[in-house]
Amino acid sequence: MHTIPSLVAGSAVPVNKHGMLGVSPGGVVPPVGDPSGWKQIGYTELASSNNEIVVSSIDNYPYLKVLIYVKGTTGSTDNVDVQFNGDSSGNYAFDYAINENATAQSINVTQGWKIKFNQLGGTPSEPVWCVLDIMNYATEEKLGMATSVTSANPNSASDAVQSQRTYAKWANTANVIDEIRVYHQNASTDLLAGSEVVVLGFDPSAPTGTNFFEELASVNLSGGASQTLDTPQFTPKKYLWVEWLSDDPKQAVHYGGQPETLIGSGGTILTASDYSFRTNKDNQSDTRTSQGRWGTWTGTSADSGDTFCNSYIVNPDGATKWIVQRSGGFGLPTSAVTYVAFQRLAGLCLQTNQIDIVRLTDVDAGAGVYQQTPSQMIVWGGDPS
């Protein structure tokens, strides 16, 4: 069992390559100090528009994290699907929820796992950001979880974010995944140039090689309470992975302030109304547009507790930033999943290079809600090659 380490003033947050507190994002808790982490084992970027992105000759790893970034499409708003090892027979099944509505199931599917349904948006050029986690043992059915976000108008913060969660299996018990195909179901529609698929692998028994994610910044509140938790400015990467823990001091006067996130470019935190997000907290949905930040929605008027959050951000130069985020609250146990679009129309030439966590309060709380030790945040990043 891993516990939160003691923090010393001025020291870096003690972590390893698995993530905060040494817990593997692949669901495995390795020995403390094990240097293994997520390795890049496959990558394809489209040099020109094409109906499909194929990543082949993928190395054998028991856990896969697939980062799928579709910059947009040339035509129909039909589905974007994922197939494995060239299999187009009815070996796929999945359960999905669109915009946090009731789930639906599809079985004996030939097209593969759907990471974006045509119901998600309304314009042909809509992008897709998807984080897909897969258990990949040869003799077991391949189980996966995908979290996707898009928007019908990706250049307007007044347009609501569209989301999809997919839980899926590939009924193959003879092979590991060595090829991943991401494609548009309408054969006459292409994915735009610059769309890409990055395949990462994790193996707790193979602690060698170069990790895809490198630590970019870490910060902790070892010196006392604060309303904000800010990273120093860091070198931006195409893909960011952010984990943070916000410890609530549990003030006597508390009206359910919740952590909210802002990002920044050029060392400046951006507070304009450029964020739109959709959140599901304990099966209660909330959609916001033209916001000055995005929330985790782990606090309500009756809640008081700590919050842990895990986020993945696609951070392209000169384009909308997309975020998928999961969080949990530990006062009254709560869970939330949040999908975010960040449109910085006045500064699209800049990448995200600063993250800011703020614990907010209801307006009648007066003094505000503060974070305290051991609140901490770590940012990792990677560029595919």
Pair (98, 133) in one structural domain: yes
The tokens describing 225, both together, are 């309470």
Pair (286, 171) in one structural domain: no
Pair (180, 262) in one structural domain: no
On the 0-12 / 13-18 / 19+ scale of CB atoms within 10 A, 47 is: exposed
The tokens describing 191, both together, are 């994915």
- In angstroms, the CA 310 to CA 144 distance is 18
Pair (354, 283) in one structural domain: yes
Pair (223, 275) in one structural domain: yes
pLDDT recorded at residue 209: 77
DSSP state of 50: B
The conformational region for residue 100 under phi > 0 = left, psi -120 to 50 = alpha, else beta, is left
Pair (369, 280) in one structural domain: yes
pLDDT recorded at residue 121: 54
Encode the chain (385 residues) as per-residue pLDDT tens digits: 223 232 222 333 334 433 444 333 333 333 323 345 899 999 999 999 999 999 999 999 999 999 999 998 888 777 899 999 999 999 999 998 888 777 788 999 999 999 887 655 556 677 899 999 999 999 999 999 999 988 877 777 777 788 888 999 999 999 999 999 999 998 999 999 999 999 999 998 876 778 999 999 998 888 777 777 888 888 889 999 999 888 776 654 444 456 778 888 877 777 778 888 888 877 777 788 887 778 776 444 444 567 788 999 998 887 888 899 888 776 655 677 776 666 544 444 456 666 666 664 333 344 555 677 888 889 999 999 9
Residue 113 lies in a domain: yes
Q: Whole-model pTM?
A: 0.85
* Closest to 98 (Cα-Cα) out of 275, 280, 256, 223: 280
The tokens describing 248, both together, are 């609530």
On the 0-12 / 13-18 / 19+ scale of CB atoms within 10 A, 60 is: middle
Q: Residue 80: CB partners within 8 Å, gap ≥ 6?
A: 70, 114, 115, 116, 128, 182, 183, 184, 185, 191
Pair (53, 125) in one structural domain: yes
- In angstroms, the CA 120 to CA 116 distance is 7
User: Is 293 within 8 Å of 277 (Cβ atoms)?
Assistant: no
The 372-382 sheet, strands edge to edge: 214-220, 372-382, 239-247, 307-314, 321-330, 333-342, 275-281, 284-291
Pair (177, 266) in one structural domain: no
Write out the residue range of the structural domain in which residue 334 sits.
213-382
Pair (236, 273) in one structural domain: yes
Residue 75 lies in a domain: yes
